């Protein structure tokens, strides 16, 4: 897929691609350049494994948005495509 860079150096990720990847405005991304390539990677949320009751759970290091029925529905629609 082709894209262009505007005068401010911004690259627009096409809407269909943003939706397929679940990208939201303000989401952190990792960017690297080398060997004539530009790579953009979604930054994962750092997690800590903690014991809770009889099990172990992953707890995010940062605030996470509340899990809503709407968010679950959007995610399921996106991954089922």
Q: What is the pTM of this model?
A: 0.56
CA distance 81 to 78: 6
> Residue 30 — pLDDT band, cuts 50, 70, 90?
very high
* Tokens standing for residue 1: 């897929």
**Within-domain flag for 2:** no
Q: How many domains does the chain have?
A: 1
**Within-domain flag for 3:** no
What range does the domain containing 41 cover?
15-80
In this structure, are residues 26 and 17 in contact, taking their beta carbons and an 8 Å threshold? no
**Within-domain flag for 56:** yes
Instruction: Give me the residues paired with residue 58 across strands.
Output: 49
- Residues ≥6 apart with Cβ < 8 Å to 48: 58, 59, 61
CA distance 70 to 18: 18
**Within-domain flag for 8:** no
**Within-domain flag for 20:** yes
Q: For all residues of the chain together, what is the average pLDDT? A: 89
């Amino acid at each position: 897929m082709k894209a262009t860079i505007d005068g401010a150096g911004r690259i627009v990720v096409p809407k269909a691609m943003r939706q397929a990847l679940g990208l939201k405005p303000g989401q952190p991304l990792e960017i690297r350049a080398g060997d004539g390539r530009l790579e953009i990677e979604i930054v994962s949320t750092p997690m800590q494994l903690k014991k809770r009751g009889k099990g172990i759970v992953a707890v995010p290091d940062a605030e996470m948005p509340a899990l809503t029925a709407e968010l679950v529905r959007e995610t399921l629609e996106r991954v089922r495509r």
